Amino acid sequence: MFEEWASQFETAIGRCGLAWTEAGVTGVQLPEADPKDCLARLTRHGAKRVKAADVPPEIAELIADLQAFLSGQPTGFDGLRLDMKRHSAFERAAYDALREVGWGKTVTYGELAARIGRPNGAQAIGMAMGRNSWPVIVPCHRVLGANGWLGGFSAPGGMLTKKALLAREGVYPDGGQLKLFE
């Protein structure tokens, strides 16, 4: 058994959360309608709650980076250690490959599958994205379906959140038409 910790923090889009072990970050939680739900998801594996003022320096730096990213500032998470022990080898390969897709860029499910040697694995990539424990850090919002179709998004807010994250990076797969109806 390993020890895990979790903390919540404010961002431009609401109260987010982060969980980690000594091996690395185990999860990022985007805002929920009720902040208690965010905390419940963060601690569902037994993580101990840590006040934001008491997080280790590496985690404090990551929180600042996440706050910057969610404010629309180009931010990379290169070199950040992720604790992936809850994920399969396939998922790990997909997440590692996706982390190479930079700010303002996108990739299709099929292209990502091909990058990890599974050219017919687009559906499996979709399932892996749905299990992504690190939205934004492992930028699953940058994965689109063929022909620019948005695909799915399992984080709170669903497709609206995916579109908002892409828009922060200047990416409008639908040509920005949603703004007409918001």
- The pLDDT, as a whole number, for residue 154 is 83
- Determine which one of 140, 143, 144, 166 is catalytic: 140
Q: What is the CATH number of domain 89-169?
A: 1.10.10.10
Centre a 10 Å sphere on the Cβ of residue 149 and count the other Cβ atoms it contains. Answer: 12
- The pLDDT, as a whole number, for residue 177 is 56
**So what's the architecture of 5-70 in CATH?**
2-Layer Sandwich (3.30)
Of 53, 71, 66, 54, the residue nearest 25 (C-alpha): 66
pLDDT tens, position by position, 164-181:
999 989 998 877 655 544
pLDDT tens, position by position, 32-84:
888 788 888 888 889 999 998 999 999 999 999 999 999 999 998 988 999 99
Query: What angle, 0 to 180 degrees and rounded to 10, lies between the N-to-C axes of helices 89-98 and 122-130?
Result: 90
- The pLDDT, as a whole number, for residue 173 is 83
pLDDT tens, position by position, 71-111:
999 998 988 999 999 999 999 999 999 999 999 999 999 99
In the sheet with 5-11, reading across from the earlier edge strand, the strands are 24-29, 14-21, 5-11, 48-49
pLDDT band, very low/low/confident/very high, at 1 (cuts 50, 70, 90): low
- The pLDDT, as a whole number, for residue 180 is 47
- The pLDDT, as a whole number, for residue 152 is 81
Residue that is written with structure tokens 């559906």 in the block: 123
- The pLDDT, as a whole number, for residue 111 is 97
Phi, psi at residue 115, to the nearest 5°?
Answer: -60, -25
- The pLDDT, as a whole number, for residue 9 is 95
- The pLDDT, as a whole number, for residue 158 is 87
Task: Look up 38 and say whether it is catalytic.
Answer: no
Domain extents for the chain? 5-70, 89-169
Look at residue 12 and tell me whether its pLDDT is greater than 80: yes
pLDDT band, very low/low/confident/very high, at 127 (cuts 50, 70, 90): very high
